[in-house]
A and B are shown apart, each in its own frame.
Chain A
C-alpha cells in the first residue's frame, strides 16, 4: 500500500521540501492565539480616499480592459478551443472513420478467407486421422474378444476333461467300498538325511495313488 501511494506522488506537493515557510517564525511577533490588543480593539483605520477623477478614470480603464479581454477571449476560443474544433469537422471525422473501418474490414476478410482454407484442410486431416484411429480401435477390440473367447473355450475344454473323472451317484457305493478297503496313512518318520520312512502297515500316498 505504501509503495502504491509513493507511486502516486504526482498528486502530492513534491516540491515542498524546497519550501520553508517563514510566516510567524520571527521572534518578536506575538503568538497567534493572542487576541487583538485592548488599545487597538476599537481602532478603525481611516479609509483611504482617492480623488473623484482618479476613481472615474480607474473605472473607465477597467471597463475598457474587461470589454477588450472579452472579445479577445472569444476570438481565441473560436480559434483554439478543442471542443469547438472537434464539433466543426464531425463529418470529416466520420468519413475518415468509415474509410479506416472499410480498410480494416477488407484486411480482416482476407485473413478470414485464408484461415478458412487452412481450417478446411485441417478438419479433413483430422477426420482422416479419426477414421484411422476408429478402425484400429475396432480391430483391437475384435482381437481382444477373440482372445477372450479362446480363453473361455480353453476353460470349458479343461472342465470337460475333469468331468470324466467325477464321481457319479451310481458309482458312489463302489468308490466308498474301495476307499474303506484301501486306507491311507499319511504319517511317516524322517531320518537325518531327510528320507521319508513310511510304516509297515501304512501305504505311502504315492502307492495309494498308484493303486487307485
Chain B
C-alpha cells in the first residue's frame, strides 16, 4: 500500500508531534515538504499531515518559494507540536512567529562577510 506524502492523518494520541522537513527532491536538487510527524518516526516514514513546502533553490527571479498552511500549523502548535529549528526560522521569516535568533546570526555573519569582501577589494592605501 502506498501512503500519500500529504499525510495519513493517523497517529498515536499521546506521542510527541513535531513540525519538520522531509526531503523530497533528488540528488543535487533539494525540495522539502513541511510536515507534522510523530517525533520518533524517521524522515521517510508516513507523516500525519503536510502543512507546507519549501524550495531552497532560488528560481530565475531569485526567490526561494515557501508555502505554509498557517491554520493547521497554529492548530498543531496549539495541540503540543514542536518545530525543528529550520522550520522555526522559516515561520519567523514568514512573520508567523518571532524571528529566530539563528536568522539574526546568519544575517550579521553575511553582513560581516560582505563588509570584509568590500574591504578586501579596495587596495590597502586607497581607503580614506
Identify the A interface with B (CB < 8 A).
7, 9-10, 12-16, 18-19, 58, 61-62, 64-65, 68-69, 72-73, 76-82
Contact = CB atoms under 8 A, between A and B. Distances in A.
B44 A61 contact: no
Interface in B86-112: 97-98, 100-101, 104-105
Contacts of B3: 10, 14-15
B98 A76 contact: no
Interface of B: 1-3, 5, 8, 10, 42, 44-46, 74-75, 77-80, 97-98, 100-101, 104-105
A80 B74 contact: yes
B23 to A, nearest CB: 9
A14 B98 contact: no
Given A68-B98, A72-B97, A79-B74, A9 B1 contact: yes
B42 A76 contact: no
A64 to B, nearest CB: 7
11 contacts: A10-B10, A12-B45, A14-B45, A15-B46, A61-B105, A69-B98, A77-B80, A79-B74, A80-B74, A81-B78, A82-B79
A76 B79 CA distance: 8
Given A15-B3, A73-B77, A80-B78, 10 more contacts: A10-B3, A10-B10, A10-B46, A14-B46, A15-B44, A15-B45, A61-B101, A79-B78, A81-B79, A82-B79
Contacts of A61: 101, 104-105
> What are the 7 tightest A-B residue pairs by CB atom distance, in nearest-first order?
A80-B78, A76-B78, A61-B101, A15-B44, A68-B98, A13-B45, A76-B77
Given A81-B79, A82-B79, A65 B101 contact: yes
Interface centre among B44, B75, B101 (most CB of A within 10 A): B101
Contact of B97 (A58, A69, A81): A69
Nearest to B74: A76
Nearest to A74: B78
A49 to B, nearest CB: 15
Nearest to A84: B78
B78 A10 contact: no
B45 A80 contact: no
A13 B3 CA distance: 10
A80 B81 CA distance: 12
Contacts of B46: 10, 14-15
Nearest to A12: B45
Contacts of A78: 78
A79 to B, nearest CB: 6
Contact of A65 (B2, B8, B98): B98
A10 B74 contact: no
